Amino acid sequence: MVLLFSVLSLGGVCTGPQKPRREFQLQANSDDFWTLVDRESKLSTVASGFGFTEGPVWDPAGFVIVSDEVSNKILHVYMDGTKEELVSLGDPDGNTYDRQQRLIDCASVLRAIIRIDRQGEYEVLADRFEDKRFNSPNDVVMGPDGALYFTDPTLDLPNGQKQELPFQGVYRLDVSGKVTLLTKELSQPNGLAFSPDGKRFYVDDSEGRNIRVFDFTSEHTLANGRIFAQEPGGKGDGVPDGMKIDQAGNIYVTGPKGIWVWNPVGRYLGTIVLPEQPANLAWGDPGYATLYITATTSVYRLRTKSHGFVPYLSVVP
């Protein structure tokens, strides 16, 4: 039985195109959901007026890094709603920090994983596997070993360009620049995350509408892949996309209408329904007890009881 608790509190002013919006709701499927999110939680709008937001990363300096896939920019978004352009780049997507807190981006048009410095200059870290160009790197996370792990679906393959790899893979990029294929069994791999202990690796399949979990081995490979959870939905609904994990190992995945939450053993706990369809999310603020959510034309902020697991803070350089 789904328990419904509804709150509407949207701070800020929307400056983008007006679209039909849902009411912010907390839909609990288990009482354990309320140990992660307070019943009285209020959603606020950090900034709006974007084309399509993706790839949030919290910077301890007090802002969120956000990709806008329509304006083709990566921006610093401040808590007062101010936006500051970092770099103009064709179709930037998922972002993360590496262990030196340098920004890593999935550059779909470049078909590459790139690193961007504080002045907005970038360098390509990898754009090929076995001499064939990637499809359109989508999301990236740092692993417990300090390497970068990323998905490469065809979701944003540039128009008029050919797919060179005959599959949609999940890869490891080590500090030497070596690219290793981890799996090609997903039809459209998208969001990904590691468990806090580094023993499990999660990746969702947007086309299959499921989330897979693998054992992460001491050789930095994946084993024993299986279905962890499903996000049912119909045409026009959101699909499994961005993914993050809290310090207790609970998994938060954007999907139909909001953020779906499961505990570490795959029990569905509830959904955070958002006014706009979310694509991705990140933990931020001191203590990492706030979710920053990129949802279509806006960036939202939601305080939580849970504290986020932030991979780059867990690896010693």
pLDDT at 20: 62
Average the pLDDT over 92-116 and give the result: 96
Banded model confidence at residue 14, pLDDT cuts 50, 70, 90? very low
Q: Name the residue ranges covered by the structural domains of the chain.
A: 50-235+246-264
Query: Whole-angstrom Cα distance, residue 48 to residue 75?
Result: 13
Query: Which are the contacts of 31, defined by CB distance < 8 A and separation ≥ 6?
Result: none
Average the pLDDT over 274-284 and give the result: 97
The amino acid sitting at 154 is T
pLDDT tens digits, one per residue of 211-252 = 999 999 999 999 999 999 999 887 778 999 999 999 999 999
Residue the block writes with tokens 């309320």:
34
Query: Whole-angstrom Cα distance, residue 267 to residue 283?
Result: 22
Which DSSP category does 157 fall into? Answer: P
Contact predicate 300/41, CB 8 Å: no
pLDDT at 46: 98
Percent share of the chain, pLDDT over 70: 93
Which DSSP category does 240 fall into? Answer: S
Determine how β-strand 169-173 pairs with β-strand 179-183.
antiparallel
pLDDT tens digits, one per residue of 149-202 = 999 999 999 999 999 999 999 999 999 999 999 999 999 999 999 999 999 999
Q: Is the pLDDT of residue 10 over 70?
A: no
Q: Is the pLDDT of residue 4 over 70?
A: no
Candidates 2.120.10.30, 3.20.20.60, 3.10.580.10, 1.20.950.20; CATH matching 50-235+246-264 = 2.120.10.30
Banded model confidence at residue 291, pLDDT cuts 50, 70, 90? very high
Phi, then psi, of 214 in degrees rounded to 5: -125, 155
Tokens describing residue 199: 């023993």
Q: Is the pLDDT of residue 146 over 80?
A: yes
Average the pLDDT over 27-53 and give the result: 98
Contact predicate 189/205, CB 8 Å: yes
Q: Is the pLDDT of residue 279 over 50?
A: yes
Query: Whole-angstrom Cα distance, residue 4 to residue 289?
Result: 23
The amino acid sitting at 107 is A
Q: Is the pLDDT of residue 209 over 90?
A: yes
Q: How far apart are the first and last CA of the chain?
A: 46
pLDDT at 21: 77
Query: Whole-angstrom Cα distance, residue 249 to residue 86?
Result: 32
Which DSSP category does 33 fall into? Answer: G
Residues forming beta bridges with residue 262, ordered by sequence position: 251, 268
Average pLDDT, the chain: 92
pLDDT tens digits, one per residue of 55-65 = 999 999 999 99
Q: Is the pLDDT of residue 277 over 50?
A: yes
Which helix (H) or strand (E) is 124 found in, with range? strand 122-126
Average the pLDDT over 293-309 and give the result: 98
